Amino acid sequence: MSELFKYDDEREAASAAKVRALEALLIEKGVLGSDSVDAVLAHFETIAGPFNGARVVARAWVDAAFKQRLLENTPKAIAEMELPVGMEGAEGEHMAAVANGNGVHNLIICTLCSCYPWPILGLPPYWYKDPVFRARGVREPRAVLREFGVPIPDDIEVKVWDSSAQIRWFVVPERPDGTDGMSEEELASLITPEAMMGVALVPSPAQKQAMAG
């Protein structure tokens, strides 16, 4: 990933310190209870997160009919699955999926804010909210993707989708080679939030093993 979009250690540490200080102040003033903070964290660790999106993508990879329904009516198709989180609220009910493949690569941005399908992708990463990423994603998406390590050939069209409060996009990435015979659970383990945003490709099992080793 480009240095432009990597966490700066000092900036991240400073932001974390500010968050902790604000949390402590709100708890001290009685505005917020520590149990409320713990509940929110637990929600995004166990209920709402990219593991949901990975399950949706894996299902689309193994079930062509489901994939078609997902692209036509995303919330309705997701409702067919037994996910730990509902699709209620603007973050979920206004979702729409687009699929890579057939000569197209999709990139998701949000030019005005950080609109994001929280129920299936969790909280947006820091760089996604960065004004530089949002602006450059529109102006020069191929250059941005190259910096993320995803060079797109000239014969592949890059489509940029702008999320908003009215519609929140996510990508069904292409299924990598070497995954024939894998279960949905095994496939889901390969899928990252970055792939569902279009800034990464899903690694093959061999590539994932090489990265881990």
**Euclidean distance between the first and the last CA atom of the chain, given in angstroms as a whole number:** 19
Cβ-count burial 91-110 (b if 16+ within 10 Å, e if not): bbebbbbbbbeeeebbbbbb
Binding site, by residue number, is 110, 113-115
Tens digits of per-residue pLDDT, 175-185?
999 999 999 99
Enclosing H/E stretch for 141? helix 141-147
Q: With pLDDT > 70 as the criterion, what percentage of the chain qualifies? A: 72
Question: What's residue 211's pLDDT?
Answer: 81
Question: What's residue 146's pLDDT?
Answer: 97
- Please identify which of the residues 2, 114, 189, 204 carries the catalytic annotation: 114
Question: What's residue 122's pLDDT?
Answer: 83
Measured CA distances, 108 to 9, 98, 204 (Å): 26, 10, 22
Question: What's residue 7's pLDDT?
Answer: 40
Helix axis angle for 64-72 and 50-62, nearest 10°, is 120
Tens digits of per-residue pLDDT, 48-78?
578 999 999 999 999 999 999 999 999 899 9
Binding site for Fe(3+), by residue number, is 110, 113-115
What is the maximum span of the chain, computed from C-alpha positions, in angstroms? 58
**Is 164 among the residues known to form the active site?**
no
127 or 155: which carries more pLDDT confidence? 155
The Cα–Cα gap between 83 and 207 comes to 28
